[in-house]
Amino acid sequence: MAVLVTGGAGYIGSQTCVHLLEAGKEIVVIDNFSNSSPLSSQAVKEITGKDFPVIECDIRDEEKLGEVFSSYKIEAVIHFAGLKAVGESCQKPLEYYDNNIGGTVKLLSVMKKFGVKCIVFSSSATVYGEKHTAPFNEEMEVGGTTNPYGTTKLYIEQILRDLCASDSEWSVCLLRYFNPIGAHESGKIGEAPNGIPNNLMPYISQVAVGKREKLSVFGDDYDTPDGTGVRDYIHVADLADGHVVALDRALSVKGCEVYNLGTGKGVSVLDLVKAFEEATGIKIPYVIAPRRPGDIATSYADCSKAKNVLGWEARRDVRKACEDTWNWQKNNPDGFTK
């Protein structure tokens, strides 16, 4: 039996593939490569020394999905596939609703048709919206998302809850990621954003490698210790470990469960810049710029549920994430090209 990994060529998906293979799981990857390269799956094969099918397939293509489910014995799905750029989602809401929500509905329909009723879903801390004070815990009411991307995560969570309510055979694990950073320690896979990075860590590493002149720090007048935004940066390898345990949990427990995956620690923009400089010895020039619309001051997780129920907690610190990011970035300044 195999685990189908949608969006398995992407940043978090490819790292999770490594950890699944290392845990002895069989995997099948599908991806439409809209934001990734098949070379990342090639690198996963090199890292693990294991082979697996990589199929170009859009999750909105029900016919092709059906062929995948007919060809392989799938027992569960880890669902990463989706568009994820917050700013772009405000410009192109219909594309986000179609790809993320429409695509997920198609995927779930095909899963149901083939009797595969176990799914681990990539949600986001963004579903907590703006009204709560960190640390965010899973009991807090979700909603009040500030952009279409976040709203797709909120709606998909609800769709998955409704599915569980309709049929007690479904097992769903909603994983709310905080801020994934870092890369595989081999330097063979990592984050390769198209164009100008939206997120802080890839921006810092592109400044370090000389692709960008300086970082703009979006606001230094927040109600935080140094005035810059505070986030919970989690090493992508810890996130991947979280998926392996969540998958085992979903395979053994029916119903819908939700877990935060973070470190529980808040790190400011300037803290992250400093950690990167210390880890790499490279100075990151920056300027203070206006606040970015839609940003909140502070976001970090209460991770006690994942620890108590799944026995999972983040083990790698921000320095390790900076070292691994730099190892990936300096060897692959233009992402997957070789």
Chain residues that interact with ligand UFG, rule: CB under 6 A: 84, 86, 124-126, 150, 178-179, 198-200, 203, 215-218, 229, 231, 269, 292, 295
DSSP string, 233-291: EEEHHHHHHHHHHHHHHHHH--EEEEEEES-S--EEHHHHHHHHHHHH-----EEEEPP
Query: Shortest gap between Cβ of 318 and ligand UFG (angstroms)?
Result: 13
Any residues with CB less than 8 A from the CB of 89 and at least 6 apart, and which? 83, 96, 147, 148, 149, 150, 152
Handedness of CA 262, 315, 203, 103 (dihedral sign): negative
Task: Closer to ligand NAD by CB, 9 or 119: give it.
Answer: 9
Query: Shortest gap between Cβ of 215 and ligand NAD (angstroms)?
Result: 18
Task: Closer to ligand UFG by CB, 217 or 310: give it.
Answer: 217
Tokens (6 digits) for 260: 């935060």
Task: Closer to ligand UFG by CB, 68 or 135: give it.
Answer: 135
Q: CB count, 10 Å around CB of 92? A: 15
Residues that bind ligand NAD (CB under 6 A): 6-7, 9-13, 31-36, 58-60, 80-84, 99, 103, 122, 124, 177, 179-180
Q: How many CA atoms lie within 13 A of 133 on its CB side?
A: 2
Task: Closer to ligand UFG by CB, 68 or 217: give it.
Answer: 217
Note if 233 is an active site residue: no
Task: Closer to ligand NAD by CB, 122 or 260: give it.
Answer: 122
122 binds, among ligand UFG, ligand NAD, none (CB under 5 to 8 A by kind): ligand NAD
Query: Shortest gap between Cβ of 286 and ligand NAD (angstroms)?
Result: 21
Q: How many CA atoms lie within 13 A of 96 on its CB side?
A: 21
Give the residue nearest to ligand NAD (CB): 10
68 binds, among ligand UFG, ligand NAD, none (CB under 5 to 8 A by kind): none
Handedness of CA 61, 65, 66, 71 (dihedral sign): positive
Task: Closer to ligand NAD by CB, 10 or 266: give it.
Answer: 10
34 binds, among ligand UFG, ligand NAD, none (CB under 5 to 8 A by kind): ligand NAD
Q: Rounded to an integer, what distance in angstroms lies between the CA atom of residue 194 and that of residue 215?
A: 17
Give the residue nearest to ligand UFG (CB): 229
Q: Which of 128, 149, 177, 259 is catalytic?
A: 149
Query: Shortest gap between Cβ of 281 and ligand NAD (angstroms)?
Result: 26
218 binds, among ligand NAD, ligand UFG, none (CB under 5 to 8 A by kind): ligand UFG
Query: Shortest gap between Cβ of 320 and ligand UFG (angstroms)?
Result: 18
Structure-derived torsion over alpha carbons of residues 188, 191, 196, 197, reported in degrees to the nearest 10: -150
> To 5 degrees, how large is the angle CA 60–CA 159–CA 76?
65
Query: Shortest gap between Cβ of 106 and ligand NAD (angstroms)?
Result: 9
**Residue closest to 218 by CA, chosen among 198, 234, 242:** 198
Q: Rounded to an integer, what distance in angstroms lies between the CA atom of residue 199 and that of residue 196?
A: 9
Cis peptide before 135 (omega within 30 of 0): yes
231 binds, among ligand UFG, ligand NAD, none (CB under 5 to 8 A by kind): ligand UFG
Any residues with CB less than 8 A from the CB of 221 and at least 6 apart, and which? 227, 291
Strand partners, 5: 29, 78
269 binds, among ligand UFG, ligand NAD, none (CB under 5 to 8 A by kind): ligand UFG
Catalytic residues: 149
